[in-house]
């Protein structure tokens, strides 16, 4: 069975490892190419866009793809829309592998924001020390609030993505432990955290640390993704694929 996994997440990598062990299944993992040195994985990997929904539909037909798992990040909305359209056009079954969002727990002080500009406004007019963990490509919205001191953590260098006078950049890839996050936030005098509601374990440490320190979190809500069959774990995706192999 030929499978395409749309990746770029911890769950996609875990699924790729599981699929590599299935004899007779040929898996291709697709990455957008945003990370300079992606983790090597034991399946064929292709890097770069397909050229929209039409390009993806063509790729599926050209490669005899029998199933697609969209395991992209909850905030990657365009590729998921394209996957839904392309699979419909090519007649290929599609599964979404998506981790559930985080839910506020007792002691959390979340300020919900529907978008990055709304998150930037939610920081207020007073100068605050902001721990910004929204990813390199989302930083520009915070240029509208240059009065704050920003501690920005990203995987790739940020260049001049956030032109503000008071910024400290950290380059690091998760997972991040709650105790380390707490130590970092205390050391840097962080007063408020900004996070996407990405869900999952790997980056939950900062949320737990903010709760322990009594700090507010500006939590940016997920964009809409298409409806469709959905599971939350790589193991459940494997079961779905096995069922499709038995009854295509
Ligand atoms: P996006 O806005 O949904 O997609 C923009 C374009 O990038 C798509 O139209 C597609 O180009 C290409 N693309 C995206 N994911 C791809 C994939 N897995 N394989 C091949 N092409 C892909 O995506 P994004 O928010 O920029 O995220 C890019 C990638 O980074 C995703 O794969 C996602 O899983 C990962 N990621 C995103 C975030 C986030 O917060 N957004 C966080 C962590 C990881 P074409 O139209 O040319 O096909």
Q: What is the mean pLDDT of residues 212-220?
A: 98
Q: pLDDT at position 248, please?
A: 65
Give residue 246's pLDDT band: very low, low, confident or very high (50, 70, 90). confident
Q: What is the mean pLDDT of residues 157-177?
A: 96
In the block, which residue shows the tokens 């034991």? 42
Q: What is the mean pLDDT of residues 64-71?
A: 98
How high does pLDDT run on average in the chain?
96
Range in 35-39, 91-95, 217-221 the model is least confident about: 35-39
Q: What is the mean pLDDT of residues 82-100?
A: 97
Give residue 38's pLDDT band: very low, low, confident or very high (50, 70, 90). confident
Residue 149 alpha carbon to ligand 1 centre in Å: 29
What is the number of other CB atoms lying within 10 angstroms of the CB of residue 152?
Answer: 23
Torsion of CA 41, 43, 46, 51, to 10 degrees: -120
Q: What is the mean pLDDT of residues 180-203?
A: 97
Pocket test for ligand 1, best of 76, 101, 199 (most atoms within 8 A of CB): 76
Contact 123, 145 (CB under 8 A): yes
- Cα 47 to Cα 161: distance, rounded to the nearest angstrom: 24
Write the pLDDT tens digit of every residue in 118-139.
999 999 999 999 999 999 999 9
In the chain, what's the furthest Cα-to-Cα distance?
60
The model's pTM is 0.93
Statement: residue 59 has pLDDT above 90? yes
Statement: residue 112 has pLDDT above 80? yes
Statement: residue 88 has pLDDT above 70? yes
Q: pLDDT at position 247, please?
A: 75
Q: Is the CB of 47 under 6 A from ligand 1?
A: no
Residue whose Cα lies nearest atom 30 of ligand 1: it is: 8
Contact 195, 138 (CB under 8 A): no
Residue 80 alpha carbon to ligand 1 centre in Å: 9
3-state SS of the chain?
Answer: CEEEEECCCHHHHHHHHHHHCCCCCEEEEEECCCCCCCCCCCCEEEECCCCHHHHHHHHHHHCCCCEEEECCCCCCHHHHHHHHHHHHHHCCCEEEECCCCCCCCCCCEEEEECCHHHHHHHCCCCCCEEEEECCHHHHHHHHHCCCCEEEEEECCCCCCCCCCCCEEEEECCCCCCHHHHHHHHHHCCCCEEEEECCCCCCCCHHHHHHHHHCCEEEEECCCCCCCCCEECCHHHHHHHHHHHHHCC
Q: Which residue has the higher pLDDT, 210 or 39?
A: 210
């Amino acid at each position: 069975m030929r499978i395409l996994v749309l990746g770029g997440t911890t769950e996609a990598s875990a699924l790729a490892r599981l699929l590599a062990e299935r004899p007779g299944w040929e898996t291709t993992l697709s990455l957008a190419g945003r990370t300079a040195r992606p983790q090597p994985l034991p399946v064929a990997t292709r890097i770069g866009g397909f050229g929209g929904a039409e390009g993806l539909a063509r790729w599926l037909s050209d490669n005899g793809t029998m199933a697609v798992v969209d395991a992209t990040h909850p905030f990657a909305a365009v590729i998921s829309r394209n996957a839904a359209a392309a699979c419909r056009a090519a007649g290929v079954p599609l599964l979404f592998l998506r981790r559930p969002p985080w839910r506020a727990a007792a002691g959390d002080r979340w300020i919900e924001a529907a978008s990055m500009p709304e998150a930037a406004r939610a920081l207020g007019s007073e100068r605050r020390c902001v721990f910004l963990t929204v990813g390199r490509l989302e930083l520009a919205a915070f240029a509208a609030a240059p009065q704050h001191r920003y501690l920005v953590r990203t995987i790739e260098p940020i260049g001049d993505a956030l032109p503000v006078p008071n910024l400290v950049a950290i380059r690091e890839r998760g997972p991040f432990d709650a105790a380390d996050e707490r130590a970092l936030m205390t050391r840097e005098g962080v007063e408020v955290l900004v996070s996407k509601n990405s869900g999952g374990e790997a980056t939950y440490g900062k949320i737990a640390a903010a709760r322990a320190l009594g700090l507010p979190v500006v939590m940016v809500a997920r964009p809409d993704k298409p409806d469709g069959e959905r599971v939350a774990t790589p193991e459940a995706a494997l079961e779905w694929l096995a069922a499709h192999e038995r009854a295509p």
